[in-house]
Homo-oligomer: A and B are copies of this chain.
């Protein structure tokens, strides 16, 4: 019996790096992969072995109750149901669709696994994410000439001569290292290469845009988006996706400091202080039992239930389902776009922006007040798990006031710009390549966004001194001073043109 107890103990202790089922059936194809790759890429294999994918078959997964289930396809193809999800299952799926499929030890293998592949077991999640603006992050930037020109003005190579700078466009590597790191690259097959390996000479495809883990990656099967941006390879840990650190990969910089604001909020403090005790693995996720303050996933993504089993929020991978506003200023905060493809938006002046420079929203492309109210209610339901209606209403009122006042600041900064453009003190060929224009961008992209995310999450100082109102106010005054300087630099000179 003593032995029995020790075994019990050991199994309890190993729960954190658990293998969910000891008798899991690994397919012969995957066993073949592991045969070589446990020595060629041992970290990946070890990581996968500790994953849920490695220890539960789709057949077992389908036995779970509706709320517990993590797979959303009740009709998973027969050939997959009785094996755990291993190397071969994913990297040999849909070979004909993948331009990066290559012959590898007599098998058709592709390098990059895509949402289309994941959809075999998780079609609902893929469909939702496909309707999520993040899945289009690459093309929404690349295909929008205004945003693209901003990217070029940041990433290009500047030269100095004759007391001025000129800029040439960035190369593909720089773009992939910069904006498209988060927004996603386009993966393309550029040929093949032969390489000596531990197992003799082998041929591999050469990919451009690789490596990349951006949320809006364009894949070799034509799909847009990437599950492993958040559900990191090859552990696919739910814990990881539910922790705020994952979101910080892309949402910590001055342009979108959501993680920073969260980290100084009461929610973030409780997560940092007590999160070590929480259960990040359970599905569904029980409020109060599994966690006692939200991470990003709680408010924006996860299926939430009460200890009584009541559903508080449905799981969604269209992450704006609970968001009436898009608080990312472009240049003004605005109601969320209807379509994930924002490159189709035109404001009243014909520019591909969700608001006019006057602040007027491009309403026909944005959700209606009714849809906003619906989303406000969805989020309110989540808030009310811990807060009273009074409390939540007060927070909404304050937050929406801040959307308004921060937009007013952007209006003022834009009025300064319009003066500069109209008087030709600043050239309006590109909106982003003069110092004054960059000051203007900081008003809405840094200080406006920071003030709004701080308001949304009660991350106080990010709305005050840390990239918030202090800098917004000061920056606007500096813009005026700068405008005066431009004027004085060439008082009698003809209007500046580039």
Contact = CB atoms under 8 A, between A and B. Distances in A.
Contact of A173 (B397, B445, B489): B397
Interface residue tally of chain A, by bracket? 35 or more
A157 B408 contact: yes
Interface string A432-466: 00110010000001100000001100101111111
B398 A173 contact: yes
Contacts of A7: none
Interface in A33-64: 38-47, 49-50
A154 interface: yes
A274 B204 CA distance: 32
A253 B160 contact: no
B12 A13 contact: yes
A307 interface: yes
Contacts of A16: 277
Contact of A476 (B13, B160, B246, B484): B160
A17 interface: yes
Nearest to A399: B177
A328 to B, nearest CB: 13
Contacts of A408: 157
Given A165-B476, A266-B213, A434-B477, A46 B289 contact: yes
A252 B488 CA distance: 40
A294 B462 CA distance: 27
A343 interface: no
Given A177-B463, A178-B464, A246-B269, A46 B288 contact: yes
A364 interface: no
A405 interface: yes
Interface in A370-390: 384-390
A16 B85 CA distance: 34
A171 interface: yes
Contact of A210 (B154, B268, B391): B391
Contact of A237 (B6, B49, B273, B386): B273
Interface of A is mostly: helix
A165 B412 contact: yes
Contacts of A473: 153-154, 156, 158, 167, 438
A236 to B, nearest CB: 12
A252 B477 contact: no
Given A173-B398, A177-B398, A240-B273, A460 B390 contact: no
A485 B483 contact: no
Output the residue of A204, A211, A485 with the most chain B CB within 10 A.
Answer: A211
A186 to B, nearest CB: 14
A246 B265 contact: no
A480 B395 CA distance: 43
Contacts of A390: 111, 204-207, 210
Interface in A395-441: 395, 397-399, 401-402, 405, 408-409, 412, 415-416, 419, 434-435, 438
A434 B481 CA distance: 10
Contact of A273 (B246, B273, B466): B246
A31 interface: no
Given A249-B460, A253-B461, A38 B160 contact: no
Contacts of A477: 158, 165, 434-435, 438
Contacts of A264: 248-250, 252-253
Contacts of A412: 158-160, 165
A434 B177 CA distance: 33
Contacts of A289: 46
B464 A415 contact: no
15 contacts: A16-B277, A39-B308, A46-B287, A158-B477, A160-B476, A171-B405, A178-B464, A205-B390, A213-B266, A248-B263, A253-B466, A254-B466, A255-B464, A484-B489, A488-B489
Interface of A: 1-2, 4-6, 8-9, 12-13, 16-17, 38-47, 49-50, 111, 153-161, 163-165, 167, 170-171, 173-174, 176-179, 181-182, 195, 204-207, 210-211, 213, 232, 235, 237, 239-240, 243, 245-246, 248-250, 252-255, 263-266, 268-270, 272-274, 276-277, 287-289, 292, 306-308, 310, 312, 384-391, 394-395, 397-399, 401-402, 405, 408-409, 412, 415-416, 419, 434-435, 438, 445-446, 454-455, 458, 460-466, 468-470, 473-474, 476-478, 480-485, 488-489
The 6 closest A-B pairs by CB, nearest first: A46-B288, A253-B461, A43-B386, A245-B272, A173-B401, A43-B385
